[in-house]
Amino acid sequence: MEEQNQLLLDVTKKAQIWLNGNYDANTKDQVKQLLANEDKTDLIDAFYKDLEFGTGGLRGIMGVGTNRMNIYTVGAATQGLANYLKKQFSSIAQISVVIGYDCRNNSRQFSEISADIFSANGFKVYLFDDLRPTPEISFAIRELGCQSGIVITASHNPKEYNGYKAYWNDGGQLVPPHDEDVIKEVTKIKSVDDIKFTGNKALIEIIGEAIDKKFISKIKGITLSPDSIARNKDMKIVYTPIHGTGVKIIPACLKDFGFTNIINVPEQDVVSGNFPTVVSPNPEEPAALEMAVKKAIEVNADLVMASDPDADRVGIAVKNNKDEFVLINGNQTAMMLTYYLARRWKELGKVTGNEYMVKTIVTTEVIKQIVERNGIECFDVYTGFKWIAAVMRENEGKKTYIGGGEESYGYLPEDFVRDKDAVSTCAILAEMAAWAKDNGMSVFELLQSIYVEYGFSKEKGISIVKKGKSGADEIAQMMKDYRKNPPAEIAGSKVTLYKDYGNLSGIENGKAIKIYMPLTADVLQLFTADGTKISIRPSGTEPKIKFYIEVRGEMKSAADYDAANATAESKINAVRASLGI
């Protein structure tokens, strides 16, 4: 009780600062209402901590308070970033930034506030005239030679959320040391009076259509099978932006590629931060693709594609051998894209031995097999597309990037963007479907043929939620226990390789090994003799510990698919039993 009373005193004190400080009248009215409410839950939630600017930027529920997304928390983030950019680029006469935003409520307002703050700090600001996909902002940073950029988006989170992603001069999200150093600058902003809100309109330039054209033109340049598109240009493609930014670019990009039969879902073409037709605008969720799949059944489509609100991730559905639409998961999509890109690059004589592709450590190992068998180097990086961008930056001008991806539905089949990109991915996925059709296959049959050639693989992600401080302690103890006593076998198969990214060391067949990564991470991996891979990591943003399980099997022909799938499911259950999850 005493602890609760102290918490209430603390949040009331923080709320009073907002009432007495240089905050706008509407904000003060909302704070007064929170203080007046008999139930103090909302007041405590809004002020019990400061919304943290993490390594991925800001993300939180919108509203007044220090723990909410609003013009003041966004303002502090922008001022902190501006202060850091001044230090890093002190030799540049005119620092410049790009600002983009998605369909979410308040996104436009947050982008305009940020434009004012950057310009008040003397920066040249390129502000998009309307909502745009996140990858286009990454493209614009590079195209316009800017030092940084931001996107106002909360990706696929529910409608109550918004967010703020920061980018460096290569168009990639911030990586060490910049991410931690920007955080330090943001935490130095202690008062609303430290933020320069009065903008210099002369330094703000509105951009839009000209960048769109350059972006679409660049994407057109990555086509690998134009003849296949020409022969299958009327292939039926259902596309939905799920109320988001993809509606601005993706249909136009598909048409520019040569596809003439793009079928939309009119209700979901409506741009809305309330996402009225879905519970969650997340293309990983089957419910988010329901309307598009229903439309595909009506028109007998070949391919269904859905992008998330800021159009950096893609979910797809295709017909199986029974003529039923099935969802393709993130690992399968990444695997097919990798196969298509590697095979076509090789067939076109573009593989010289200096090319590379990138995957994250929790993404299917089949990708590595495909890449290396085609004479291409494969990089493994930590979860998060910023690490793929970091490899691209490191190899720029030395090696040729072909593509990269992760199991969480993010892919990048080109190098002029440095974040996951639903725009170019949709174009290449449609091209891949046309190429498969040209070769007498559906997309599903292409997937089966990859399994026949490289072996069957099934992946499953399991998250165990442990709430509160006791839950956090329990997760930490689980990781300690796994490190102290790693399993010698899993589901009856011997562990042959153990990797601990916490100290960048491991054991392979009884011998100590070193792991070469840019920094440590709280991740463990176990590989067994039968090809099973388990990755274990605590979530950095939620009270949960995540297990990524991949099991392998055999497929001699497409007819073996269902049996291979059932066997793999049994093996996953055995792995879970071994791990006690």
Active-site residues, by number, are 155
CA distance 416 to 135: 9
CB neighbours (10 Å) of residue 431? 25
Whose tokens are 């955080």? That residue is 183
Q: Could you please report the per-residue DSSP string of 354-398?
A: -EEEEEETTS-THHHHHHHHTT-EEEEE-SSHHHHHHHHHHHTTT
Q: Are 194 and 442 in contact (CB under 8 A)?
A: no
Burial category of 308 from C-beta neighbours within 10 Å (exposed 0-12, middle 13-18, buried 19 and up) = buried
Q: Are 356 and 399 in contact (CB under 8 A)?
A: yes
Give which of 113, 140, 120, 119 is closest to 128, Cα–Cα. Answer: 140
End-to-end Cα distance, the chain: 36
CA distance 433 to 336: 10
CA distance 325 to 328: 10
Give which of 451, 430, 155 is closest to 316, Cα–Cα. Answer: 430
Residue 226 to residues 77, 259, 423, 430: CA-CA distances in angstroms?
A: 44, 10, 17, 11
Q: Which run of H or E residues covers position 337?
A: helix 330-347
Sign, CA torsion 138/140/145/150? negative
Give which of 102, 107, 104, 126 is closest to 115, Cα–Cα. Answer: 126
The residues that bridge with 315 in the sheet, in sequence order, are: 306
Q: Dihedral through CA 344, CA 346, CA 352, CA 353, nearest 10? A: 100
